[in-house]
Amino acid sequence: MNAPPPLIELLGARWVTEAPVVGVAWDVAGLNAGFALGDGTLALAVAEWRGGPGLKPRQGGGVEFVQAQEPAAPLARFSVHDGTCLALAADPEGGFLSGGDDGRLVHLNVDGASEVLVDADGEWIDLVATSPAGRAYTIGRRVHWLGAKPASLALPGSATALAFNAAGEQLAVAHHGGVTLWPIDAHVPRLLAWPGYHRSVAWSPDGRYLVSGMEENALHGWRLPDGGDIEMGGYPGQPRSLSFSADGRVLVTSGGPRVVCWRFDPPGGDDQPRECGIAGKTPVTQVACHPTHPLIAVGYHNGAVLLCQPGGSDVLFVKGSGDSPVSAIAWSPDGSRLALGTEAGELGLVLLPEALFHFGSPR
């Protein structure tokens, strides 16, 4: 019996550009997906279009696919940087923020109107992060805060990752030698020191834990209330992509041929992680937990994208393999759509309504 086609062919749309996808983000309304491209442009894709695909109830239970009657709306491309896009984030007031190697931080509305917020000629704006409280970006060894009271902070090393906690009042900046926490109100930094190169960072939803992915093929975590350390190793590669489940009970990561799932309820130094996804020789490059359900979107080095549950064995293919690694993946704010991009410049959107799934407790 033939396997069903990937979901992107039934409930999605795809486009091909000539530039690699550097990052992807959804606007706060969840109506547009923004793709930062290596040629200095931002591509915007509209989530819904007239005559698009969908699901409908089937007599006797279940659902059936409704094929698209009209093609997806074409991508809107906007030139925002003279060089390449390096970072992308949704702006809490609408639209997107993009940082580039031309030293510019640009705000782009979904209608194409843009504004240069920062112009640091000769510098690179490497990282961008946003929260309801404001915006932050990095230039080398300094992180800058744009808000009612702009401020900047010198770091022990060049910034490699940037993330606000869920409440948006505290910023984590990864660098060589640890992670610096920067409370926005007090502007008094706290260094979480740990030897090595910290390349990625993730907050637990309740803000009690912070975890970094390290160049030394390991994770390091901190219990923030008491500063306790949590060591998590044994990876064959670098765990560059990290994501906590919506309930905070599981941390999922790349770094191996399957998704690695660590228990965080609470974490224990002797606990062994569980895995999910397909076993093979192709490394996982991107992971993203659903904003409300126990569901993980997984991108692979061969271009495939699938869905699985933490510790589970079942998978659902969103996109088949290709000739380029998945470089970016993101759920819409309500979890009804998934956006993805590859290093070869393939972009995709997939409709994933709740009616498609039966959510239960992870095994």
The DSSP annotation for 295-363 comes to -EEEEETTS-EEEE-TT---EEEEE---SS-EEEEEE-TTSSEEEEEETTSEEEEEE--GGG-------
- For 262-310, the pLDDT digits (tens) are 999 766 555 789 999 998 889 999 999 999 999 999 999 999 999 999 9
Query: Over 70: is that where the pLDDT of 363 sits?
Result: no
pLDDT mean over 231-241: 95
Among candidate residues 73, 49, 94, the one with its CA nearest the CA of residue 333: 94
Indicate which CATH number applies to the domain containing 286. 2.130.10.10
Identify the H or E element spanning 10.
helix 7-11
Domain range holding 301? 234-355
Q: How many domains does the chain have?
A: 1
Is 141 within the bounds of a domain?
no
Is 137 within the bounds of a domain?
no
- For 151-176, the pLDDT digits (tens) are 999 999 999 999 999 999 899 999 99
Is 120 within the bounds of a domain?
no
Compute the C-alpha angle 333/340/56, nearest 5°.
65
N residues, the chain = 363
Is 296 within the bounds of a domain?
yes
- For 95-109, the pLDDT digits (tens) are 999 999 999 999 999
Query: Over 90: is that where the pLDDT of 111 sits?
Result: yes
Is 125 within the bounds of a domain?
no
In whole angstroms, give the CA distance from residue 204 to residue 34.
25
- Residue 153 is predicted with a pLDDT of 93
Among candidate residues 119, 149, 114, the one with its CA nearest the CA of residue 134: 149
In whole angstroms, give the CA distance from residue 165 to residue 173.
11
pLDDT mean over 3-23: 92
Percentage of the chain modeled with pLDDT above 90: 77
